[in-house]
Amino acid sequence: MLPNFAYTRPDTLKEAVKQLGSEEARLHAGGTDLLGCLRDGVFSAQKVVSISKLDALRGITKTSKGGLEIGTLTTITAVAEHPLIQSDFTALANAAGEVASPQLRNQGTLGGNICQKPRCWYYRGEFDCLRKGGDTCYAAEGENQYHCLFGSDDTCFIVHPSDTAPALTVLDAQVRIAGRWRKKTVPIDSFFVLPADDVQKETILGADDIVTEIVLPPPPAGIKSSYCKVRARRSWDFALAGIALALAFNDAKVAHARVVLSGAAPIPWRSMAAEEAIMGQELTPDIISKAATAAVKDAEPLAQNGYKVPLFKGLVEQELAKMKV
Amino acid sequence: MAKNKKPHRGKGVTRREFMTNVSAGAVAVAAAGTLGAKDAEATAVIKPEDMVTIDLQINQRRHRLLVEPRWSLLFVIREKLGLTATKFGCERGECGSCTVLVNDVPLYACMMLAMEAQDLKITTLEGLMQGEALGPVQKAFLEQDAYQCGYCTSGQIMAAEGLLRKQPHPSIEEIQTGVSGNLCRCGAYPHIFKAIAQAAKAR
């Protein structure tokens, strides 16, 4: 049984934002991550504010310029199966298809997927860890085989759990946010928060902010994108390692490159080093190998996650080789 | 009950209906005895200690009942309506034994609040019965021996039913993906895949 909470399901976005302003109010979209967190006691809720009645926030529409607007409540299944996402924003369709299980994809939303809480077992378990306002990171010296290689700032070693976030990042997505005072749109690579900036937050969202849409700009001409996820078992699980790519070529040379790793850092981890290694180059075995080495050069493995270094290296090589024109 | 009649529509009372009615009666008594029970309103905030009346449409039958905001759909289906085919497993969205169809799509009933299920069409394993006879997916599971202990079976069948409603002629890969959110501790997977392939032909 879940702990007690008040519940409201407003008819308007404005009312939802207002309701979220009260103390310890939590947003409910698909509810799959929220209910899990409440059940595990990761945080508590005095009030659950459900936005599931806000049908305007559901659905996928083409923008006039050839991009897409995806309502925050659009299910992961709808994203994975959308023909235009499959053809023009392939990384996102791939990633959505790799999220969790069919049941969770049918219920989980795209907005919820990028806002989900980390899966670190100390954070999810009965540990008063840094991210929950305590003063110790238990993963630093503990069981850390699923933790990060980059971006921890020696503070918190979570990995960002979302598959869709790295795909959205290589596609230069924008996140629209409605809050009490204003609406704003931010590029997705400034949406996520590193532990060094605020160890208790994963995103820039304030308590009464709601992600309303995710906007994909028109894809650059000739762009190819992909997402590949490695897990400990073939059936559903979170990523041990993953890579999202978006590349465009001029003749055979890379003219546009985005390389973003998942399962690597507390946020979707853009590997500028790998991008620099391939920009302007043909994807020869030598260049691919250099890019893979560059991608893991600054990795800081912990006691138990060293296996991720060769895993990421191999993954970068494998996926870049598939992109070769 | 005549064969061509749908469940719950006949004049006779089956054991299942009897149990359901008994549960519903208990709820009605609780309703009369609870002060401050309110109908769900658009922007009303239901306080944690309050119960609220909601309508759920389960297996083509309307149920009006009192719920707490924190109750999951699974809890209501099993404990309040007595529809016990839907199983309580991990209660954390991992095992699939509580799978039901919501608007023909398989979901985990443990990960959905009953409040969120209002106005949606819910189907549990009981809703796949054709009168007192098994539906095609149930029949295929029986004939293919697609279980050992049987605990995951109703969830597997609901996931399969959801798959077949969306994709009537699935490939083996689609079948495997279709039940990938349902764990079978006994490892009956090869039989489960065969059963779903058989059901696809029979439907």
Would you kindly state where each structural domain of chain B is located, as residue ranges? 15-128, 136-202
Same domain? A210 vs A231 = no
- Of the candidates B159, B187, B193, B189, the residue with the CA atom closest to the CA atom of residue B175: B193
Looking at residue B43, what is its pLDDT? 75
DSSP letter for B175, please.
H
Q: Is residue A27 part of a domain?
A: no
Q: From chain A, pick out residues whose CB is under 8 angstroms from the CB of B40.
A: 9
67-86 of A, contacting B, C-beta below 8 A? 77
Strands (E), chain A: 6-8, 25-28, 47-50, 60-62, 68-71, 174-178, 183-187, 210-216, 224-230, 241-250, 253-262, 269-270
CATH topology classification for B15-128: Ubiquitin-like (UB roll) (3.10.20)
A44 and chain B in contact, CB less than 8 A: no
Query: Is A2 in contact with B72 (Cβ distance < 8 A)?
Result: yes
Same domain? A163 vs A212 = yes
Residue of A nearest to B79 (CA): A1
Q: Is residue A132 part of a domain?
A: no
ipTM: 0.95
Residue B62 has pLDDT above 90, yes or no: yes
Looking at residue A325, what is its pLDDT? 77
Q: Given A167, A193, A216, which residue is the final one in a domain?
A: A216
Q: Is residue A18 part of a domain?
A: no
Strand partners, A213: A71, A176
Same domain? A174 vs A280 = no
Cα A89 to Cα A122, A140, A225, A245, B11: the distances in Å are 35, 37, 7, 11, 55
Query: Is B111 in contact with A32 (Cβ distance < 8 A)?
Result: yes
Residue B39 has pLDDT above 70, yes or no: no
**Residue A264: which CATH number?**
3.30.390.50
Average of per-residue pLDDT across A31-40: 97
Which numeric CATH code is attached to B136-202?
A: 1.10.150.120
Same domain? A83 vs A174 = yes
The number of angstroms, rounded, from the C-alpha of A160 to the middle of its chain's C-alpha atoms is 6
Q: Given A171, A189, A216, which residue is the final one in a domain?
A: A216
Same domain? A170 vs A201 = yes
What would the pLDDT profile of B142-189 be if each residue is shown by its tens digit?
A: 999 999 999 999 999 999 999 999 999 999 999 999 999 999 999 999
Q: Is residue A191 part of a domain?
A: yes
Using 50, 70 and 90 to split pLDDT, how confident is the model at B133?
very high
User: Do B136-202 and B15-128 fall under one CATH topology?
Assistant: no
Residue of B nearest to A16 (CA): B43
Same domain? A75 vs A196 = yes
Q: What percent of chain A has pLDDT over 70?
A: 100
Q: Is residue A36 part of a domain?
A: no
Residue of B nearest to A107 (CA): B107
Count of the separate structural domains present in chain A = 2
Residue B26 has pLDDT above 80, yes or no: no
- B158 Cβ contact partners less than 8 Å away, ≥ 6 residues apart: B99, B100, B101, B106, B123, B124, B125, B128
- A74 Cβ contact partners less than 8 Å away, ≥ 6 residues apart: A58, A59, A60, A109, A110
What would the pLDDT profile of A180-207 be if each residue is shown by its tens digit?
A: 988 999 999 999 999 999 999 999 999 9
Q: Given A172, A198, A216, which residue is the final one in a domain?
A: A216
Same domain? A98 vs A167 = yes
What would the pLDDT profile of A150-174 be if each residue is shown by its tens digit?
A: 999 999 999 999 999 999 999 999 9
Same domain? A212 vs A83 = yes
Using 50, 70 and 90 to split pLDDT, how confident is the model at B131?
very high
Looking at residue A10, what is its pLDDT? 97
Binding-site residues on chain B for chain A (CB distance < 8 A): 40, 42-49, 68-72, 75, 91-93, 96, 99, 102, 105-108, 110-113, 115-116, 159, 162-163, 177-178, 180-182
Q: Is residue A267 part of a domain?
A: yes
Using 50, 70 and 90 to split pLDDT, how confident is the model at B203?
confident
Looking at residue B30, what is its pLDDT? 40
Same domain? A192 vs A97 = yes
Using 50, 70 and 90 to split pLDDT, how confident is the model at B22?
very low
Distance of alpha carbon B100 from alpha carbon B96, whole angstroms: 9
What would the pLDDT profile of A226-279 be if each residue is shown by its tens digit?
A: 999 999 987 788 999 999 999 999 999 999 999 999 999 999 999 999 999 999
Q: Tokens at residue A290, please?
A: 């250099």
Looking at residue A173, what is its pLDDT? 98
- Domain of A209 in residue numbering reads as 55-115+159-216
Looking at residue A182, what is its pLDDT? 84
Q: Are A57 and A213 in contact (CB under 8 A)?
A: yes
Q: What is the mean pLDDT of chain B?
A: 86
Looking at residue B3, what is its pLDDT? 41
Same domain? A253 vs A203 = no
Cα B195 to Cα B78, B141, B153, B160: the distances in Å are 26, 5, 11, 9
Residue of B nearest to A1 (CA): B71
Residue B38 has pLDDT above 50, yes or no: no
Looking at residue A236, what is its pLDDT? 83
Q: From chain B, pick out residues whose CB is under 8 angstroms from the CB of A50.
A: 113, 115-116
Looking at residue B11, what is its pLDDT? 40
Q: From chain B, pick out residues whose CB is under 8 angstroms from the CB of A51.
A: none
**Residue A103: which CATH number?**
3.30.465.10
Same domain? A277 vs A307 = yes
